[in-house]
Structure 1
Amino acid sequence: MPDTPDMQKTIALVVRPNTAGIEQPVQQLVDFLQHSGYHVVFEAATAGHLALPGVEAMSADQIGATAQTVVVLGGDGTMLGIARQLAPYNVPLVGINLGRLGFMTDISVERMIPALDAILGGKARSEKRTMLEGCVKRNGETIHCGQAVNDVVVARGAGAGMIELKVTVDGSFMYNQRSDGLIIATPTGSTAYALSAGGPLLHPSLGGIALVPIAPHALSNRPIVVPDTSTITIEIVAGRDTSINFDMQTFASLMHGDQIIISRSPHYMTFLHPEGWTYYDTLREKLHWNEYPAGDCRPK
């Protein structure tokens, strides 16, 4: 007796929109998964821009409640968007890279079928990543909250001058900083905006949160890593058009006296990688650490 969809294991697909030629690899992936006995569904936005018959659409909440695994075809931005929505459900994520860097979407389209076959067959490396949560308080009232996989960024507006921030960690005053802003990054986010601002690379297994100033006025304001058990409070002291964003995707405008309270989220993000994968493989590939001078015959 064949399995009904309720009896089958459900695999959800999330696909980056506006990607030329994406229909063919998506169809290939759907055919492979269905032939392997899985019930394949599209995330609702994916279903809206991909007209493939016979594939059910589900909301993120429905996927979180029913899916065994979520396969993301896109870049890190696509992964960030769905990861935040699915964080409360702890559904493992597999990333197929259609972007440029792909620190989180680390499997090439060319390798996706054998890699997924091995991962879904149990030959996978599971990796948990921490997240951040932050809330904005104004006159004692919470006006905005958000979750971040990569970072929470407090920054000046376009055309505005420097902003001044008062930063405390676990109730202890750290500094008043004049700068273009401040990045509060997870280890996952240490390879994103924080890296371009001069922050350190943090291995994902580390329990740390990086505070990285953006163009600080005082050169002595250096990046610092604090324990991920810390509660970080940032108060807006001065500056115009200051805003906060979570993974560059959700925003709120800030006023003088507003406080942003940031801590580790109770939720985690779980990645599934091919067996034998290491974080250093990703760094070498994405940061081109494996490149040698012309004529050098060492293996790449």
Structure 2
Amino acid sequence: MPASPEPQQTIALVVRHNTAGIDEPVRAIVDFLRGAGYRAVFEAETATHVGVDGVEAMSVEQIGEQAHTAIVIGGDGTMLGIARQLARYHTPLIGINQGRLGFMTDIPIDRMLPALGEILNGKATAEERSLLEARILREGKQIHCSVAVNDVVVARGTGAGMAELKVTVDGQFMYNQRSDGLIVSTPTGSTAYALSAGGPLLHPTLAGTVLVPIAPHALSNRPIVVPDTSEIVVEIMNGRDISVNFDMQTVASLQHGDQIVISRSPDTITFLHPEGWSYYHTLREKLHWNEYPSSDGKLK
């Protein structure tokens, strides 16, 4: 008997909202995928704002259960949003940059089709990234739980005074901190808010979690990297209008005594890059390490 044909692999497209001129490159990707024998589908919200007809829409859950890969077209914010939702399904992600920085959406849109061809033909570098899981406890009871690709940020409200936070790591007291807040970041998030607050860069494969104070009252409060096996507890001791953000998604109205319990998530996300991709090249390009001033003072 002849062998049964392999089922057609599904590839989902997730596209950033309100992006001028995006329909043409999206249509080009859909045509490319179909020409290569794949079934192209849109994430449900993408289907409502992209003007490309004849493409089936799927929920995030359906994508997680059925899709071989998800292609994300936008900036790092778009990637963060879908990566959090797909993490539990372990769906590999390909990022095409239609934003500004693009640490995670790293493929230039003018190279998207050759890069996609390479990756889908197996000439890819797979890179696994860790996530954080955070639970909010009030009087010992969990009131919220979420994951973060970049960071969990505890911060005071606009116009409010300093927040006072008690931090323990693996049950050991670390410090009471008066500051504008605290960033608890993955290695992926070390190039985001944590970097702007003076934190260190962590290579994505490093098994660490970085704690970065935001404008601490005591100048001796410095960033610290702890093992990513640690359980970090941040307790709200004092302050007004304190909130916690998961990749900038806010949970507000924290109360004195609330605890944010942060640990490494059991799930991970996988980014697929073209063969030969280098994290250091990304840093040079995005952080302009390769630039130096010319005689007229301009960067080149």
* Partner-residue secondary structure (3-state), 1:289: coil
TM-score of the superposed pair, with normalisation by structure 1 = 0.96
Cα offset for 1:295? Answer: 6.5
Aligned to 1:281: 281
Q: Is the 8 A contact 2:243 2:250 kept in 1?
A: no
Unaligned 5+ segments in structure 1 are none
Cα offset for 1:290? Answer: 1.0
Cα offset for 1:56? Answer: 0.4
Cα separation, 1, equivalents of 2:149 and 2:251:
15
Cα separation, 1, equivalents of 2:224 and 2:258:
23
Superposed CA deviations along residues 46-66 of structure 1, whole A, max 9, x for unmatched, are 001113221100000100011
Cα separation, 1, equivalents of 2:250 and 2:125:
31
2:199 is the counterpart of 1:199: yes
* Partner-residue secondary structure (3-state), 1:281: helix
Q: Which amino acid aligns with 1:159?
A: G
Aligned to 1:48: 48
* Partner-residue secondary structure (3-state), 2:293: coil
Q: Which amino acid aligns with 1:7?
A: P
Aligned to 1:130: 130
Q: Which amino acid aligns with 1:240?
A: R
Q: Is the 8 A contact 1:33 1:40 kept in 2?
A: yes
Aligned to 2:237: 237
* Partner-residue secondary structure (3-state), 1:253: coil
Superposed CA deviations along residues 163-188 of structure 1, whole A, max 9, x for unmatched, are 10000000000000000000000000
Aligned to 1:167: 167
2:233 is the counterpart of 1:225: no
Superposed CA deviations along residues 9-43 of structure 1, whole A, max 9, x for unmatched, are 10100000100000000001111111111000000
Q: Which amino acid aligns with 1:192?
A: A
Cα separation, 2, equivalents of 1:251 and 1:192:
20
1:139-150 equivalence runs, <5 A? 139-150=139-150
Cα separation, 1, equivalents of 2:250 and 2:117:
35
- Say how many residue pairs are matched: 295
Q: Which amino acid aligns with 2:31?
A: D
Superposed CA deviations along residues 132-159 of structure 1, whole A, max 9, x for unmatched, are 0001100111111110000000000010
Cα offset for 1:226? Answer: 0.2
Q: Which amino acid aligns with 1:38?
A: Y
Q: Which amino acid aligns with 1:46?
A: T
Superposed CA deviations along residues 247-293 of structure 1, whole A, max 9, x for unmatched, are 00242321000011000000001000010001101000000011133
Q: Indicate the larger mover: 87-96 or 48-57.
A: 48-57
1:31-110 equivalence runs, <5 A? 31-110=31-110
Aligned to 1:119: 119
Q: Is the 8 A contact 2:70 2:93 kept in 1?
A: yes
Q: Is the 8 A contact 1:136 1:144 kept in 2?
A: yes
Cα separation, 2, equivalents of 1:264 and 1:114:
35
Runs of 4+ in structure 1 displaced over 3 angstroms?
A: none
Q: Is the 8 A contact 1:11 1:67 kept in 2?
A: yes
Q: Is the 8 A contact 1:146 1:250 kept in 2?
A: no
Cα separation, 2, equivalents of 1:108 and 1:13:
16
* Partner-residue secondary structure (3-state), 1:40: strand
